[in-house]
Structure 1
Amino acid sequence: MIRSLVRPHVRRLPADLTGVLALTALTNVVVFAPVIRETPLRVPFGLVFVLIAPGYALVALVFPERGPVDRFDDANGGVQSPTTILERPRSWWGTIDGPERIAFSIASSAIIVPMIGFILITVQGTFRFGPTFVAVSVVTVALTAGAIWERLALSPADRFRVPYDEWMDTLRTSVFDSDSRRSAILNVTLICTILLVIASVGYAATALPQDDEYSTIYVLSEDDADPILEIPPGESQEVVVGVDNHEERTTTYTVVVVEQEMDVSENETRVVDQRELERFEATVDHDETWRLAHDVEPTANGEVRIVWLLYVDDAPAEPSIESAAYRVHLWVEEGES
């Protein structure tokens, strides 16, 4: 009943390649959706996508035909003999069977993903997770679309179809036959090694903190040109604080300016006393900069530094270096205030 409601051209889409498109779309939702991306789902979805999708799409494009050992039921209910399938393959490089297709898919993913990352690093000058993941997704969708086109251009008898029954037979043979079991163990060990290598890259890309989600804070002189090295004691100094938003979202920042009296002895720097001077708040769009001009006038004596503590969202009532997301400081020149 449900199948009759689906349009014929939709029913013709290969199930495995439709699954690749669905996996790509779902993974992007999990990785980039504001609420979902903070959940643990980001890691498994990202790993599965990076390990399988790009390489599988490429292999499906290059090898649209069924392999020499694939079987399928013909129109009369019988099983086609492998020798009658693809007597003359479309591709000059021939066909591959199921295990080769899996191995090539994993190996291709191990090549495609780092290559895209290398190209983007060369263009951007640094690694940024967001653009890299989007680029991998776009390449995967393009390869999948090409693979669907190539496969549908073949006759139904020649198209590759995931041979679930044959793979189950192979699995049973590998488990109960001693010679096949030894061969299977070697193949599984090789595949696990490849998966471990790609998983390490995938984990770094999906679970570890990303370079493209960060903020920066810095202090410039009043002409907004040169950095300030020190602040003169006992007089007001105008400074410009810059905050750059690279959090991949609109962010509200709070900057708390504090004066700290320091104890510097035996190669150790310790905060003796702290006084809050001012605090500022602003909402900044992604890839925009907040310029904050204000006056600083140190009041303490001895070893003193002015610290700008940057908080994402609200700042606590008692700010500290430990609680701040980012910070920058300037020492007050030696002298009496």
Structure 2
Amino acid sequence: MIRSPVRPHVRRLPADLTVVLALTVLTNVVVFAPVIRETPLRVAFGLVFILVAPGYALVALVFPERGPVDRFDDVNGEMRSPTTILERPRSWWGTIDGPERIAFSIASSAVIAPVVGFIVVTVQGSFQFGPTFVAVSAVTVALTVGAIWRRLALSPDDRFRVPYGEWTDTLRAAVFDPNSRGSAILNVALVCTILLVIASVGYAATALPQDDEYSTIYVLSEGDADSVLEIPPGESREVVVGVDNRERRATTYTVVVVEQEMDVSENETRVVDQRELDRFESTTDHGETWRLAHDIEPTADGEVRIVWLLYVDGDAPEEPSIESAAYRVHLWVEEGDS
């Protein structure tokens, strides 16, 4: 039976949902704080939050009651009788136990995050990590507040609590009790599998470069159709190159401009000779664009292309190459009319 959630004896916040709120706040601090966001903690906290918190809050909202296998009293650890269990009120959609709650939480998170992201992209017209993460956090907080209200509306005996005693008994049965070892092992294996998946994805996300941290370089000059730069013989041409910083930190860039003489055959394109024309360096804040305007004057004839090599954090070598650059863009040179 649903009761008023404002009585004095039910005002204590559920510990698990308090943890969800604390995790939401802490993760946002780790993800957006200027210094902490540059550490691996950003990926670790963000991944755990996205995979667990939204779904757990939703499951807690839908299923505020104890599950059918909550056989132990969390206060004194005593076994409740089957009659007590059967007499407890049930929501019309039923209840779930611990392993199901964990599995549903992760599955629900896998749905909530993309749906919220799709809505944000639809409203803004493009994907941006910051607004999307804040939106997922806001949804998580709203679901958690609703879950707290629903759980506190129940009598103390009917509310879901994290069944530490149940989990301990399940683990003990899996190891020592031959009669219940089969089902207990399945429950433990399910939880271990879920934790292994989280750990594996977390390791991969921490070890590999993140898609939302990148830089781009491109030519801004107009009139260069089909990647061709028209320059009359003996003359120069001003070219504007743009560098976008999406590294989520202030970054020092070095752009090295090289001229390459090319051997173009039927099946391959080969660099015959290369010379450096110029190099530039600038420090750009996250979200900003560095516009580099400079003159290009080719020194070679034949098949020639100009390549802009972008190095991140100012680590440009004395002898730059396409292989050593983080990003690059090029234009072919074609003799135009004087």
Residues 1:9 and 1:235: Cα distance change in structure 2 (over 3 Å): farther
* Residues 20 and 144, structure 2, Cα contact 8 Å, conserved in 1: yes
C-alpha displacement of 1:211: 3.3
Deviations 1:1-60 (A, max 9, x none): xxxxxxx99982211111122223333344444444444444543443333222211111
Q: Give the 3-state SS of the residue equivalent to 2:181 in structure 1.
A: helix
Structure 1 range deviating more: 184-193 or 43-52:
184-193
TM-score by length of 1: 0.77
- Whether 1:165 aligns to 2:160 is no
Task: State how 1:38-117 maps to structure 2 within 5 Å.
Answer: 38-70=38-70, 71-72=72-73, 81=81, 83-84=83-84, 87=87, 89=89, 91-117=91-117
C-alpha displacement of 1:236: 1.0
Equivalent residue letter for 2:145: A
How many pairs align? 324
* Residues 69 and 82, structure 1, Cα contact 8 Å, conserved in 2: no
Equivalent residue letter for 1:94: G
Alpha-carbon distance between aligned partners in 1 of 2:121 and 2:206, rounded to the nearest angstrom: 17
Structure 1 range deviating more: 64-73 or 77-86:
77-86
Identity %: 80
* Residues 47 and 206, structure 1, Cα contact 8 Å, conserved in 2: no
Alignment partner, residue 136 of structure 1: 136
Q: Give the 3-state SS of the residue equivalent to 1:59 in structure 2.
A: helix
Alignment partner, residue 248 of structure 1: 248
Q: Which runs of 5+ in 2 are unaligned?
A: 1-7
Residues 1:196 and 1:163: Cα distance change in structure 2 (over 3 Å): closer
Residues 1:82 and 1:200: Cα distance change in structure 2 (over 3 Å): same
Task: State how 1:159-308 maps to structure 2 within 5 Å.
Answer: 159-190=159-190, 208-221=208-221, 224=222, 229-232=228-231, 233-264=233-264, 267-275=268-276, 277-308=277-308
Q: Give the 3-state SS of the residue equivalent to 1:112 in structure 2.
A: helix
Equivalent residue letter for 1:137: S
Alpha-carbon distance between aligned partners in 2 of 1:263 and 1:257, rounded to the nearest angstrom: 19
Deviations 1:54-102 (A, max 9, x none): 2211111112222344343679x97765644694647332333333322
* Residues 55 and 112, structure 2, Cα contact 8 Å, conserved in 1: yes
Residues 1:132 and 1:196: Cα distance change in structure 2 (over 3 Å): farther
Q: Give the 3-state SS of the residue equivalent to 1:178 in structure 2.
A: coil
Deviations 1:172-216 (A, max 9, x none): 123223353222344455556666667776667665433332222
Alpha-carbon distance between aligned partners in 1 of 2:286 and 2:79, rounded to the nearest angstrom: 59
Equivalent residue letter for 2:228: L
Q: Which runs of 5+ in 1 are unaligned?
A: 1-7
Taking only aligned residues, the RMSD between alpha carbons, in angstroms, comes to 3.7
C-alpha displacement of 1:297: 0.8
